[in-house]
């Protein structure tokens, strides 16, 4: 007999007032952005002085647009291109779900490059600040996935397996919580420990590299426990789309780590 922990059902809707519907998933994005913004302000007060408070507030708007637009378009093109080609009106229906981290990441990269070029700010310096704050939103987003009972894991017989409401009768890995722990909490702690060492913090691009390599590695590992999207299934060699999209992040991160250098001594 297979043992499974009862799934702690939580209504995905926090509260509803007439046409106004507030979902936990939406709150995860809002609080992830707000907490990340506050954390960036705190980090930016320490050397190297890359950006001031006013610029961070301006950048917050750019990041929000990049996350939402990039996340949605990434989901459209990476995961369900045929569906949205046949149903273009659904592309803007963000409230029905469907966001891609990799698309949101590319959206933030694009927003950051435009912003730093406009304000003549170090792109890698700003990227290092964003890298330290990003795990906050990632962790909250995965918790929201768990509340929604979506993106659940593969069938398993581990003692902490759960039967998800939309995952059939078999117990599965709570892979959303694995990702919340790895991509959120662990990555946040690792980046903060690196940042605390001023000699490492001053190596432009190092924190960005640690984030990219860390996320890429953690996501590839987590995908071995996560059920692939039904419409995609397994790809070549039993891999998943999430793993293929994370591999370039891992490789770029390793390159940034190896190429990051301490600042030149003052003359």
Over residues 11-50, the pLDDT tens digits come to: 888 878 777 778 888 888 889 989 999 999 999 988 888 8
Six-digit token string for 65: 């647009």
Q: What pLDDT was estimated at residue 248?
A: 95
pLDDT at residue 267 is higher than 50: no
pLDDT at residue 76 is higher than 70: yes
The Cα–Cα gap between 259 and 267 comes to: 23
The Cα–Cα gap between 23 and 31 comes to: 12
The Cα–Cα gap between 176 and 185 comes to: 13
Q: What pLDDT was estimated at residue 256?
A: 96
More confident of the two residues 86 and 164? 164
Band of residue 266 on the pLDDT scale cut at 50, 70, 90: very low
The Cα–Cα gap between 140 and 180 comes to: 7
Q: What pLDDT was estimated at residue 124?
A: 92
Band of residue 87 on the pLDDT scale cut at 50, 70, 90: confident
- Size of the chain, expressed as the number of residues it contains: 267
Band of residue 3 on the pLDDT scale cut at 50, 70, 90: low
146 DSSP 8-state letter = H
Band of residue 205 on the pLDDT scale cut at 50, 70, 90: very high
The pTM of the full predicted model, rounded to 2 decimals, is 0.86
Range of 96-105, 194-203, 225-234 with top mean pLDDT: 194-203
Over residues 100-153, the pLDDT tens digits come to: 888 888 999 999 999 999 999 999 999 999 999 999 999 999 999 999 898 999
Six-digit token string for 252: 């770029």
pLDDT at residue 264 is higher than 60: no
pLDDT at residue 220 is higher than 80: yes
pLDDT at residue 95 is higher than 70: no
The Cα–Cα gap between 133 and 126 comes to: 11
pLDDT (average), residues 90-101? 72
pLDDT at residue 94 is higher than 70: no
Rounded to 10 deg, the angle between the 24-44 and 53-78 helix axes is 140
pLDDT (average), residues 55-60? 89
Rounded to 10 deg, the angle between the 187-196 and 123-148 helix axes is 160
Q: Which residue has the tokens 């960005």?
A: 208
Q: What pLDDT was estimated at residue 23?
A: 82
**DSSP characters over 185-236:** IIHHHHHHHHHHSHHHHTSTTHHHHHHHHHHHHHHHHHTTTBPPPTTT---G
- With a CB cutoff of 8 Å and minimum separation 6, the contacts of 203 are 260, 261, 262, 263
**DSSP characters over 67-93:** HHHHHHHHHHHHT-HHHHHH-GGGTT-
pLDDT (average), residues 59-70? 90
Domain residue ranges of the chain, discontinuous segments joined by +: 31-47+127-267, 51-121
Q: What pLDDT was estimated at residue 2?
A: 58
């Amino acid at each position: 007999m297979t043992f499974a922990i009862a799934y702690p059902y939580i209504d995905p809707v926090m509260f509803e007032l007439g046409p106004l519907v507030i979902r936990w998933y939406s709150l995860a994005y809002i609080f992830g952005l707000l907490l990340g913004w506050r954390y960036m302000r705190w980090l930016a007060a320490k050397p190297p002085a890359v950006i001031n408070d006013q610029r961070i507030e301006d950048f917050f708007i750019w990041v929000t647009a990049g996350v939402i637009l990039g996340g949605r378009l990434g989901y459209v093109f990476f995961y369900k291109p045929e569906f949205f080609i046949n149903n273009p009106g659904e592309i803007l229906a963000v409230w029905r779900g469907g966001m891609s981290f990799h698309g949101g990441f590319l959206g933030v990269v694009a927003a950051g490059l435009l912003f730093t070029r406009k304000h003549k700010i170090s792109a890698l310096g700003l990227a290092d600040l964003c890298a330290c704050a990003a795990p906050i939103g990632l962790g909250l987003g995965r918790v929201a996935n768990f509340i929604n009972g979506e993106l659940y894991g593969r069938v398993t017989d581990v003692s902490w397996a759960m039967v998800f409401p939309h995952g059939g009768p078999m117990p599965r890995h709570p892979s959303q919580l694995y990702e919340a722990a790895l991509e959120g909490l662990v990555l946040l702690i690792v980046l903060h420990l690196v940042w605390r060492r001023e000699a490492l913090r001053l190596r432009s691009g190092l924190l960005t590299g640690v984030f990219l390599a860390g996320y890429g590695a953690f996501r590839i590992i987590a995908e071995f426990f996560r059920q692939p999207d039904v419409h995609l299934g397994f790809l070549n060699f039993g891999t998943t789309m999430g793993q293929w999209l994370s591999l370039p992040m891992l490789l770029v991160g390793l390159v940034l780590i190896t190429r990051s250098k301490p600042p030149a001594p003052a003359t």
